[in-house]
């Protein structure tokens, strides 16, 4: 079969999977209500339901289904040469609290549909084709990035199993994993289910998380990179609790120090934007201590979180030094003390040029309009890149952003994405 014609040959089979796609999304919605939206907490009932749903559907469709020590789920269409490097796709099935039904899940559903379509045209592909449904990608829950994918490669940060605690339960990551059947002892021992040498490439399909494609009027984008980040989830500013009438020169106001930090961080971002250097900075929590604050008290304690991300490792390192310099300056001026707390980070995820080229070619052959797009968010594909796997991404148009109940992906746009994904998986490198 002519490689260039493969995406077109697959197109009718891809279109025929639409009922499966819609049925899967409806089942996911009904099985993980968040009131509003959906909630699939990692290593909790909602996420586990989603993994069981995928495993049941894939088994009924005749695919191989397996799990690893961290309970990631793998769906495999067996290839002719089972020793050859596999081609993989997938995404995560957990969500933020009261999130939308498509963030993460769209990539898993798309992967299953792609396998069904490929098997119709190519019952035995040259090598194994694998869909990975990944656990615990949403770092809001345990404040650790990429728990499932890092566990699969033996890259889970030291101390995460005991030190990371879920925000709603207060229980450790290891406890939650063990509750649902994970082999925590194996993970403590550095068990590695995936080896980069055995993976020919990984492509993650995901809804867009800023309305770039909505703005452009395009259904798809081909990813150009995933930002790395550094995070301080539990920053504390300590000043001095005082009477509201205290003159300014005597104050050690922790809240104003927090305001200085926010304004300074925004200046850093604006300076980078003016130079055309892409980055993002977010203060997700920003508040005085509820146990101490009051209308007639100068705040002596202020709490916040910080997430800074960029597409270049050098830029990211320089940004962290700029943030630390800002902290030192505010401490000196305000007479306060910053406690940064535990630091977390994730590496920059570079897209492999060869994978990107093949995705672009598949979109071109199918006549699907697209644009290049750097991801504004973190994705498990970055773990694959860190491990040395050639990685790519497909983004699908999504109104209203993500991480909220109003995610509004059109299934017709997703079907275009499945066509491009299936074309990549079925085309030999």
Q: What are phi and psi of 177, to 5 degrees?
A: -65, -45
What is the spatial distance between Cα 387 and Cα 424, in angstroms, rounded to a whole number?
Answer: 21
Joined together, the tokens standing for residue 160 give: 């995460």
CA distances from residue 120 to 17, 61, 76, 418, 427 in whole angstroms, order as listed: 11, 12, 15, 14, 15
Between the two ends of the chain, the Cα-to-Cα distance in Å is 14
Beta-sheet pairing, 349-350 with 220-226: antiparallel
Contact 390, 195 (CB under 8 A): no
- Whether this model's pTM surpasses 0.85: yes
Q: Which CATH architecture fits 229-346? A: 2-Layer Sandwich (3.30)
Q: How many CB atoms lie within 10 A of CB 286?
A: 16
Superfamily of domain 3-227+348-426: Zn peptidases (3.40.630.10)
**Are 3-227+348-426 and 229-346 equal in CATH topology?**
no
Residue 350 pairs with which residues in a beta bridge?
225
Q: What is the pLDDT along the chain (429 residues), one digit of tens a residue?
A: 567 778 899 999 999 999 999 999 999 999 999 999 999 999 999 999 999 999 999 999 999 999 999 999 999 999 999 999 999 999 999 999 999 999 999 999 999 999 999 999 999 999 999 999 999 999 999 999 899 999 999 999 989 999 999 999 999 999 999 999 999 999 999 999 999 999 999 999 999 998 999 999 999 999 999 999 999 999 999 999 999 999 999 999 999 999 999 999 999 999 999 999 999 999 999 999 999 999 999 999 999 999 999 999 999 999 999 999 999 999 999 999 999 999 988 889 999 999 999 999 999 999 999 999 999 888 999 999 999 999 999 999 999 888 889 999 999 999 999 999 999 999 876
**Domain limits, the chain:** 3-227+348-426, 229-346
């Amino acid at each position: 079969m002519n490689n260039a014609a493969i995406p077109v040959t697959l197109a009718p089979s891809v279109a025929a999977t639409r009922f499966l796609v819609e049925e899967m999304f409806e089942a996911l919605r009904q099985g993980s209500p968040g009131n509003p939206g959906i909630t699939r907490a990692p290593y909790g009932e909602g996420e586990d339901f989603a993994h069981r749903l995928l495993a049941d559907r894939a088994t009924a469709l005749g695919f191989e289904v397996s799990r690893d020590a961290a309970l990631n789920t793998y769906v495999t269409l067996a290839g002719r040469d089972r020793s050859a490097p596999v081609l993989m796709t997938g995404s995560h099935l957990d969500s933020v609290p009261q999130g939308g039904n498509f963030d993460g899940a769209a990539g898993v559903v798309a992967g299953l549909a792609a396998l069904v379509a490929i098997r119709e045209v190519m019952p035995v592909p040259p090598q194994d084709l694998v869909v990975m449904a990944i656990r615990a990608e949403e770092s809001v829950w345990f404040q650790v990035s990429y728990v499932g994918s890092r566990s699969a490669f033996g890259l889970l940060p030291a101390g995460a199993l005991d030190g990371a605690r879920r925000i709603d339960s207060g229980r450790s990551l290891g406890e939650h994993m063990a509750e649902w059947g994970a082999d925590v002892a194996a993970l403590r021992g550095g068990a590695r289910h995936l080896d980069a040498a055995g993976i020919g490439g990984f492509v993650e399909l995901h809804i867009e998380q800023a309305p770039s494609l909505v703005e452009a009027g395009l259904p798809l984008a081909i990813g150009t990179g995933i930002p790395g980040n550094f995070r301080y989830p539990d920053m504390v500013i300590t000043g001095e609790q005082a009477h509201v009438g205290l003159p300014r020169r005597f104050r050690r106001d922790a809240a104003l120090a927090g305001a200085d930090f926010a304004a300074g961080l925004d200046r850093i971002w604006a300076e980078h934007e003016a130079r055309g250097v892409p980055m993002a900075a977010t203060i997700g929590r920003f508040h005085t201590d509820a146990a101490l604050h009051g209308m007639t008290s100068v705040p002596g304690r202020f709490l916040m979180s910080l997430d800074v991300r960029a597409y270049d490792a050098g830029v990211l390192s320089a940004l962290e030094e700029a943030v630390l310099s800002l902290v030192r300056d505010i401490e000196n001026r305000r007479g306060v003390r910053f406690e940064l707390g535990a630091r977390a980070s994730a590496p920059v995820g570079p897209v492999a040029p060869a994978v990107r080229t093949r995705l672009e070619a598949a979109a071109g052959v199918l006549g699907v309009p697209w644009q290049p797009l750097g991801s504004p968010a973190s994705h498990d594909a970055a773990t694959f890149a860190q491990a040395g796997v050639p990685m790519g991404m497909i983004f699908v148009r999504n109104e209203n952003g993500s991480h909220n109940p109003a995610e509004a992906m059109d299934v017709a746009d997703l079907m275009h994405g499945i066509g491009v994904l299936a074309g990549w998986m079925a085309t030999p490198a």
